[in-house]
A and B are shown apart, each in its own frame.
Chain A
């Protein structure tokens, strides 16, 4: 019986490299959540954001025509709303002074450009050209004139990564503007959201405007989120029985506003971390 010239356990370089690489990737996947990994991710993200900036000019050119058309339509709607709002503001101001309410804290906003859509669409993340240098912090809310986009989840010196409502793993406290019924906005699939926590029989109708409640410290109150598009039958509160479509098209958003924390306020997870660091 002839014996093979190749030893039984001869090292196969391709398999060795493959297994080592898979091991490295899985190690990163399961254990790469430390501060060093996060810091490296943020800094490299910032560098690539810088490199990608010229490329964005090309993308913007494509979006100008579409944006112009959308803005014209928006201007007509807003001008109609403006008259109503002016009356409401006067009335509101009078009522506030009568009731002794303090004026709502003004929101300092920072304009930012979207310079990248990293990862798969399902991940729903966008890269902005502003970072710590511009006063952006983790958990800063991100908005457009159309409505809520998401919140900042990673910040480097000159760039920040935003988790949009698409693919989000966090809930947003929202309410139906008309009936003031509140719940948690929850992503349930590609371009599909629901509001969980609504009890059976709550007053929710197709076409209702969904706005933020301002609960928590991340999202300001009364920011438009979307519109109720479907009532799927009033079932269990914890799975949601209505469908919501956000106003913002996350895959094509170009300019956003980031709510920067006011100098005197010290809120949010990032501020908390900074306080801890100072100690």
Chain B
């Protein structure tokens, strides 16, 4: 997929996340539709693409979301960069490694950043909040990512 193709998918995911993401909520747990895409770009296209797409998508979410400008952008660019840096593209792209592992770790990190800011803003303890909402959200996001990997939408599996 070309750069423009990725950018188009990013915009569509952003709009779907904002408008339809609430449908997937399980109580206080709402998965991110954009984080798996950032992880995917990082793993498939390397650290530079992961960083830039992560920062751009995160900035889009910040502009629309509840968090301060720059928070999600920071978290997503770190996730995108780490995915690209820690995994070499020439290795086999499998369900558990790297896909699920990076999704869970990336989600856990991004949720830690957002929950830390929310906890700090609301004067709450970070850890109970993170354990109740952040980690389950990361796992839910990873589950959706796994479902996507197993679905026909994902073509990389055959490569």
Q: Do A and B come from one complex?
A: yes
Size of chain B's interface in residues, with CB distance under 8 A?
Answer: 56
Residues of the A chain whose Cβ atoms lie less than 8 Å from the Cβ of B18: 48, 52, 116-118, 127
Interface class of chain A by DSSP: helix
B68 within 8 Å of A (CB atoms): yes
C-alpha spacing A51/B69, complex, angstroms: 21
B69–A118 touching, CB < 8 Å:
no
A190–B28 touching, CB < 8 Å:
yes
A119–B65 touching, CB < 8 Å:
yes
B7 within 8 Å of A (CB atoms): no
A163 within 8 Å of B (CB atoms): yes
B118–A123 touching, CB < 8 Å:
yes
Minimum distance in angstroms from B133 CB to a CB of chain A:
5
Report A10-53 CB contacts with B as 1/0, cut-off 8 Å: 00011001100110111111101100010011001100100110
Nearest CB in chain B to that of A254: its residue: B22
Given A25-B73, A25-B74, A121-B29, are A52 and B66 neighbors across the interface (CB < 8 Å)? no
Interface class of chain B by DSSP: helix
Given A32-B69, A122-B115, are A117 and B22 neighbors across the interface (CB < 8 Å)? yes
Within 8 Å by CB of A119, from B25, B61, B78, B122, lies B61
C-alpha spacing A32/B128, complex, angstroms: 29
Interface size class of A (residues with CB under 8 A): 35 or more
Residues of the B chain whose Cβ atoms lie less than 8 Å from the Cβ of A120: 30, 32, 65-67, 111, 114, 137
C-alpha spacing A115/B21, complex, angstroms: 11
Please choose the segment from A55-63, A93-101, A200-208 that sits at the chain B interface, where 4 or more of its residues have CB less than 8 A away: A55-63
B122–A167 touching, CB < 8 Å:
yes
B39 within 8 Å of A (CB atoms): no
Within 8 Å by CB of B66, from A37, A59, A125, lies A125
Please choose the segment from B44-52, B86-94, B96-104, B144-152 that sits at the chain A interface, where 4 or more of its residues have CB less than 8 A away: B44-52
Residues of the A chain whose Cβ atoms lie less than 8 Å from the Cβ of B28: 121-122, 166, 190-191
Residues of the A chain whose Cβ atoms lie less than 8 Å from the Cβ of B71: 25, 29
A115–B19 touching, CB < 8 Å:
yes
A168 within 8 Å of B (CB atoms): yes
Report A90-132 CB contacts with B as 1/0, cut-off 8 Å: 0000000000000000000000000111111111110100000
A158 within 8 Å of B (CB atoms): no
Residues of the B chain whose Cβ atoms lie less than 8 Å from the Cβ of A52: 15, 18-19
B23–A123 touching, CB < 8 Å:
no
B23–A121 touching, CB < 8 Å:
no
C-alpha spacing A26/B52, complex, angstroms: 15
Nearest CB in chain A to that of B76: its residue: A25
Minimum distance in angstroms from A59 CB to a CB of chain B:
5
Nearest CB in chain A to that of B73: its residue: A25
Interface centre among A17, A56, A188 (most CB of B within 10 A): A17
Residues of the A chain whose Cβ atoms lie less than 8 Å from the Cβ of B43: none
A235 within 8 Å of B (CB atoms): no
B122–A168 touching, CB < 8 Å:
yes
B25–A169 touching, CB < 8 Å:
no
C-alpha spacing A32/B67, complex, angstroms: 12
Residues of the A chain whose Cβ atoms lie less than 8 Å from the Cβ of B47: 14, 17-18
Residues of the B chain whose Cβ atoms lie less than 8 Å from the Cβ of A26: 70, 74
C-alpha spacing A191/B132, complex, angstroms: 10
Minimum distance in angstroms from A173 CB to a CB of chain B:
17
Within 8 Å by CB of B68, from A13, A33, A122, lies A33
Chain B interface residues (CB < 8 Å from chain A): 14-16, 18-23, 25, 27-30, 32, 46-48, 51-52, 55, 58-74, 77-78, 81, 84-85, 111, 114-115, 118, 121-122, 124, 128-129, 132-134, 137
What are the 10 A-B residue pairs with the smallest beta carbon separation, nearest first?
A: A123-B66, A119-B65, A190-B28, A28-B70, A121-B30, A29-B70, A118-B64, A117-B22, A25-B74, A52-B19
20 A-B pairs with C-beta separation under 8 A = A17-B48, A17-B51, A17-B52, A21-B55, A25-B73, A28-B69, A29-B69, A44-B64, A48-B18, A48-B63, A52-B18, A117-B18, A119-B61, A120-B114, A127-B64, A163-B66, A187-B124, A190-B129, A191-B28, A251-B25
